[in-house]
């Protein structure tokens, strides 16, 4: 009987340590959603972009993708983001979908322009570039080299 109690206690300690590691990893990985002001962007294609993906400027995370959907009138993909309140982006900011390496995570890359006016909460970025179609590019390379 005492052996079962000892095994149960050891199992509980292992689970608590594992939960502590998960909490530490989540906290230090900076994966929490960014609380800030909402903006959106419209793309012709979003590829494998997921809700919760990073929004970056110069490689630094400044926001989070909050939701995605289709605009019913234009059939463009609308991506809603939350941007840190301390970051002000110019009105002529350019948005593109990028990827960390060949197999890395997909994220939104923002390139601020030089406008004097800043994007306000609820603004929509229309100057965008879609996600690259890697399989299409590889396919094009393979078939163009056969000629």
Give the chain's domain count.
Answer: 2
Task: Assess whether 72 and 127 both reside in one domain.
Answer: yes
For residues 123 and 66, state if they share a domain: yes
On the 0-12 / 13-18 / 19+ scale of CB atoms within 10 A, 42 is: middle
Is residue 139, in this structure, part of any structural domain at all?
no
Residues 44 and 81 in one domain: yes
- Vertex 69 angle, CA 58 and 47, to 5°: 55
Q: Are residues 103 and 62 both part of a single domain?
A: yes
Q: What is the pLDDT of residue 138?
A: 78
The verdict on 8 and 62 lying in the same domain is: no
Q: Which domain holds residue 8?
A: 1-31
- Both 58 and 115 in one domain: the answer is yes
What three-state secondary structure class fits 129?
strand
Considering the domain boundaries, does residue 146 fall inside one? no
What are the pLDDT tens digits along the chain (147 aa)? Answer: 567 888 888 888 889 888 888 877 666 655 556 679 999 999 999 988 999 999 999 999 999 999 999 999 999 999 999 999 999 999 999 999 998 877 778 999 999 999 999 999 999 999 999 887 777 777 777 887 665
Q: What confidence score (pLDDT) does residue 143 get? A: 80
Residue 140 belongs to a domain: no
The H or E element containing residue 147 is none
Query: In angstroms, rounded to a whole number, what is the distance separating the alpha carbons of residues 90 and 143?
Result: 42
**pLDDT at position 147:** 55
Same domain flag for 89 and 60: yes
Residue 49 lies in a domain: yes
Tell whether 16 and 52 lie within a shared domain. no
Sign of the C-alpha dihedral computed for residues 117, 121, 127 and 129 taken in this order: positive
Residue 78 pairs in a beta bridge with: 42, 69
Rg from Cα positions in the chain: 21
Q: Kindly state whether residue 138 falls inside one of the protein's structural domains.
A: no
Q: Kindly give, in sequence order, each residue whose CB lies less than 8 Å from that of residue 61, ignoring residues fewer than 6 positions away.
A: 30, 34, 54, 55
**Same structural domain for residues 81 and 97?**
yes
Rounded Cα–Cα distance for residues 2 and 39 (Å): 60
Residue 3 lies in a domain: yes
Q: Determine, yes or no, domain membership for 137.
A: no
Answer whether 119's CB lies under 8 Å from 125's CB: yes
Sign of CA dihedral 33, 38, 89, 73: positive
């Amino acid at each position: 009987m005492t052996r079962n109690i000892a095994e149960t206690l050891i199992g509980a300690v292992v689970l608590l340590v594992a939960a502590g590691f998960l909490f530490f990893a989540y906290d230090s990985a900076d994966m929490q959603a960014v609380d800030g002001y909402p903006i959106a962007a419209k793309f012709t294609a979003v590829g494998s972009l997921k809700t919760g993906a990073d929004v970056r400027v110069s490689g630094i995370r400044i926001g989070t993708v909050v939701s995605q959907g289709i605009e019913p009138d234009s059939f463009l993909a609308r991506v809603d983001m939350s941007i840190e309140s301390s970051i002000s982006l110019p009105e002529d900011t350019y948005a593109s979908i990028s990827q960390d390496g060949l197999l890395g995570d997909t994220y939104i890359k923002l390139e601020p322009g030089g406008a004097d006016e800043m994007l306000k909460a609820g603004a929509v970025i229309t100057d965008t570039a879609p996600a690259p179609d890697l399989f299409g590019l590889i396919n094009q390379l393979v078939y163009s080299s056969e000629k």
